[in-house]
Structure 1
Amino acid sequence: MLRRYVMQRINTAVFPRPELVMANINVLANHVASRPVDKGWVVPTAIPIRNSSQTWLEQEGQIWRMLTFVENAQTLQTIGSKQEAHEVGRALGVFHHLVRDIPADALADTLPGFHVTPGYFQIFEDGLAKSLAKPNVPISQELETCLNFVDQRAGSIDVLEAALARGELQTRPIHGDPKVNNVMLCSTSGRALAMVDLDTVKPGLVHYDIGDCCRSGCNRHGEETEDLDAVLFDLNLCEAILEGYLSAARETLNDHDLDYIYDAIHLITFELGLRFLTDHLAGDIYFKVNRPGHNLHRANVQFKLVKSIEQQEDSIRAIVERLRP
C-alpha cells in the first residue's frame, strides 16, 4: 500500500525556534511509542531526513518537515451534532491522557506567554494608550462598546494564573490549539482518530485547551459570522464536549482542575476577543484581515460569545458537577 505524507513549511514568524517545535513533537512521538495507545488512535510523527536523525531541513532560509498522513480522516469547520461534539471532546481527552506523564519540563515553551491572559491584557493596554495618543483618531461606537466590555471584566483576567500561583493548578503538557478543525475524525465511523497541528505542543494549563476547545466548538456560527445576533454559546454542545473529554481524561484531573473549567471556558473566549481587539488597535499586524475593521468585528463576535457564556454560568457549572467522578 502506498503511504502518504504531509510536507510542511514551519512558520518561523510564529515559531522563531523551529528546532524546539520539532524537539517537542519528537518527545511526544517517543513517549507514545513507549506505551499502549487507544485502539484506532493515531499520532502524526516526523520523518527523519535520510541518513540523519534530524526531522527538519533548512532550505533557502525556510524550514521544512515531513509528517505521517492520517488516512481515512476528515476535519470539521464547525460542529453539527452532539455526537461530533462528543468526539471532539474525547479527542482532547485522549490526548491529555496520553501525555499526562510527560514531565512538563521535558517540553520546550515554544510560545512563551501563550494563553497567559494578564500578559495579553498588558499588551492591550499599551496598544490602547498608543492609539489614544494619536491626534484626531475617532472612536467608533463599536470600538467604544468593546473597550467598555474589556474594562468591566479586567478584574478577573488572572483567575487561572492566580490558581496556578496558589498551587491549585499545575503546568502539564498541552496541545495548545485544540480548535475543532485540528481534530481528525474517521471518514467512515465518525470517531476521533487524531489531533493534528502539533506545533503548539508545550507546557501549560490543560484549562487553556479545555477552554479553547469549548470556545471553538460551541459557537455554531464560527468566528467569522456577520450575524452578531446569532452568536450563542451552545450549552448542549458544551455538555457533549465535556462528556467526551472526561470519558477519556477524568483520571488525569483532580477536584481543583474541575473547579476551574467554567473559568477556563469564559476566560479563553474573552482572551481571543481581547487579542482581536488589540490587533485592531495595532493596525491589523498579526491576524489576517480582508477589510478594515475585520478584527474589531471578530472581537465583537467573541465578546458576544463571552456574554452568552456568562448568562449560562450556572448551567455550565452544573454540567461539570454532574460529570464529577
Structure 2
Amino acid sequence: MKQDPISPQPDPVTIAASFAAADDIVALTPHGRGLINDSYLVRCRDGTAFLLQRLNPAVFPQPAALLQNLRLVSDHLRRQGEQSGAAIRRQAIKLLPTRQQQDYHYDEQGACWRALEFIENSRTLSAIEHQGQAFEAGGALGRFHRLLADLPPALLHDPLPTLHILPWALAHYQGLPTPADSGHDGAEVVFCREFIHRLQGQALALEQARARGLLVEQVIHGDPKLDNILFGSDNDLALALVDLDTIKPGLIHYDIGDCLRSCCNRAGESSSSPTGAEFDLELARALLSGYLEEMRPLLTSADFAFIYPAAHLITFELGLRFFSDYLEGNRYFKVDDPQHNLRRALNQFHLVESIERQQPDLQKIITELT
C-alpha cells in the first residue's frame, strides 16, 4: 500500500512573514528554554524585534480562547498603569497582530502561531544568585496579582483546568497502567513510587480550603517559574512576567508555591544531581518579602496559613507530573533524553524533602512577615 508522504514541518521564516513583510525580516533564531511551545526571535530591518511562537496543539487545543485571555489581561494591566500614573515595569506583554490584523496565524498542519513584542535589554536567569534577585522575583509576582485582583476570574477561559489540581494529578498517575515488570524497576523509579505513596494523603489540602471558602479564586499566572520572569540585562530588576498562556482562574497559592519552588532551589529544575536539590530559606524570605510588599494588604489570615502547604504541595505536584510524563513516554514536556523527566521528578521530590525538613523555620519566616 502506498503511504501518504509526511507533511513537511512549516518554515518559521514563512510563518514570520505573516506578521511582518518578508523583505523586512533579517534574522530568525530559536529562543528560550520553554518546555511546551516553540519560540523564535525575529529581528527586522528597522531594528524592531518580536517573539514568534508555535502553540503546542496537544497542550492548548483552543488557542483562540487562550489568546483572548492574553489580550484581556494585557489590556487590564495597561489600564491599571494608566490610572495609577505609575510605571509598572512592563508588566503587560503586547500581542502583535498579523498583517491581516488577526491575533494569530494557522499553518498548513493546523498549528496556531502568534507574535509577541520582544522586551529588549532583558534576560532570564537559570538560577537565583542572591537575595536581591529573589526579592525582585517575588515583587514581580506580587504586582501581577495586585494589578489583576479586581479583574473577575470568570471572564477568563481556563486553558488547563487540571493545572495545579493535585488530586487530579494524583488520580491521573494512579490510573496509569502498571508494567508487568514493575517489580524490576530501577532504584530511582522505586523511590518515586514510594515517595508519591507517602504524600498522597496530603493531596487535598488546597482544594479542601477552596471548597470551604477559606481560599478564593482570582486571576493567576499559572506558571510563574524563574524561566518566566524577565530581568534587566544589566541589572537585577524584574521587568515582567512572560509566557502568559497559563493565565486562568485559580488560587494565588498555586503561583506563590510555584515561584518559591522554582526560585529557591539553587540547583535548578534539571540538575544532573537531583539529590542536591535544597530549599534555600534566605531566598524564600527575600522572595516572600518582595511579594508581600505588594500583596500584604489584600491577604487574609487564611492566605498566610496556606503559604507553607502551597510551597510543599505545588512542588510535589510538579514532581508528580514529571514522573507521570516519564511513565507515559515523555509526551507532554520537552526532553533532552528519555530519562530527562525522571531526573526532573527526582529533583522536585528531593526538594519536597528539603522543604519538609525545614518546615518549622519556613513557618517562622512566614509568621514574621505576616
2:155 and 2:225 map into 1 onto residues whose CA distance is 24
Cα distance, 1:143–1:2 mapped onto 2, change above 3 Å:
closer
Cα distance, 1:269–1:27 mapped onto 2, change above 3 Å:
same
1:65 and 1:292 map into 2 onto residues whose CA distance is 30
Q: CA deviation at 1:163?
A: 0.2
Q: Is the 8 A contact 1:176 1:202 kept in 2?
A: yes
Counterpart mapping for 1:82-93 below 5 A: 82-93=131-142
CA RMSD of aligned residues (A): 1.7
Q: Is the 8 A contact 2:274 2:344 kept in 1?
A: no
Structure 1 counterpart of 2:161: 112
Say if 2:89 is the partner of 1:44: no
2:157 and 2:127 map into 1 onto residues whose CA distance is 31
Q: CA deviation at 1:282?
A: 2.0
1:69 and 1:135 map into 2 onto residues whose CA distance is 49
1:114 and 1:136 map into 2 onto residues whose CA distance is 28
Structure 2 counterpart of 1:3: 48
> What residue identity is the alignment partner of 1:115?
H
2:122 and 2:344 map into 1 onto residues whose CA distance is 30
2:326 and 2:123 map into 1 onto residues whose CA distance is 33
> What residue identity is the alignment partner of 2:160?
L
Over residues 173-198 of structure 1, what are the superposed CA-to-partner deviations in whole Å (9 max), with x where a residue is unaligned?
Answer: 00111011111112233211111101
Q: CA deviation at 1:302?
A: 1.0
Cα distance, 1:236–1:59 mapped onto 2, change above 3 Å:
same
Q: Which moved more, 1:188-197 or 1:205-214?
A: 188-197
Q: Is the 8 A contact 1:131 1:281 kept in 2?
A: no
Over residues 12-31 of structure 1, what are the superposed CA-to-partner deviations in whole Å (9 max), with x where a residue is unaligned?
Answer: 22111000110001111221
Gaps of 5+ in 2: 1-45
Q: Which moved more, 1:138-147 or 1:263-272?
A: 138-147
Structure (1/2) with the larger helix percentage: 1
Structure 1 counterpart of 2:331: 285
Q: CA deviation at 1:142?
A: 2.1
2:323 and 2:292 map into 1 onto residues whose CA distance is 33
Q: TM-score with structure 1 length normalisation?
A: 0.93
Q: CA deviation at 1:151?
A: 1.0
Counterpart mapping for 1:53-92 below 5 A: 54-60=102-108, 61-92=110-141
Structure 1 counterpart of 2:62: 17
Gaps of 5+ in 1: none
Over residues 93-118 of structure 1, what are the superposed CA-to-partner deviations in whole Å (9 max), with x where a residue is unaligned?
Answer: 11111111110101100111110000
Cα distance, 1:33–1:298 mapped onto 2, change above 3 Å:
closer
Q: 2:73 aligns with which of 10, 23, 28?
A: 28
The number of residues matched between the two structures is 320
Structure 1 counterpart of 2:40: none
Structure 2 counterpart of 1:95: 144
Counterpart mapping for 1:195-234 below 5 A: 195-234=241-280
Q: Is the 8 A contact 2:274 2:343 kept in 1?
A: no
Q: TM-score with structure 2 length normalisation?
A: 0.82
Q: CA deviation at 1:141?
A: 2.4
Cα distance, 1:318–1:101 mapped onto 2, change above 3 Å:
same
1:284 and 1:40 map into 2 onto residues whose CA distance is 38
Q: CA deviation at 1:4?
A: 2.6
1:289 and 1:56 map into 2 onto residues whose CA distance is 27
> What residue identity is the alignment partner of 1:131?
T
Cα distance, 1:233–1:5 mapped onto 2, change above 3 Å:
same
Please identify the structure whose Cα radius of gyration is greater. Answer: 2
Structure 2 counterpart of 1:268: 314
1:18 and 1:31 map into 2 onto residues whose CA distance is 20
**Bigger RCO (CA 8 Å, 6+ sep):** 1
> What residue identity is the alignment partner of 1:81?
H
> What residue identity is the alignment partner of 2:202?
S
Q: 1:172 aligns with which of 218, 235, 249?
A: 218
Q: CA deviation at 1:51?
A: 5.3
Q: Is the 8 A contact 2:275 2:346 kept in 1?
A: no
Structure 2 counterpart of 1:145: 191
Cα distance, 1:255–1:64 mapped onto 2, change above 3 Å:
same
Q: 1:124 aligns with which of 153, 156, 173?
A: 173
Cα distance, 1:39–1:143 mapped onto 2, change above 3 Å:
same
> What residue identity is the alignment partner of 1:142?
E
Q: CA deviation at 1:251?
A: 2.2
Structure 2 counterpart of 1:301: 347
1:227 and 1:135 map into 2 onto residues whose CA distance is 27
Q: Is the 8 A contact 2:105 2:113 kept in 1?
A: yes
1:62 and 1:229 map into 2 onto residues whose CA distance is 39
Q: Is the 8 A contact 2:127 2:268 kept in 1?
A: yes
Cα distance, 1:32–1:228 mapped onto 2, change above 3 Å:
closer
Q: CA deviation at 1:290?
A: 3.5
Say if 2:286 is the partner of 1:240: yes
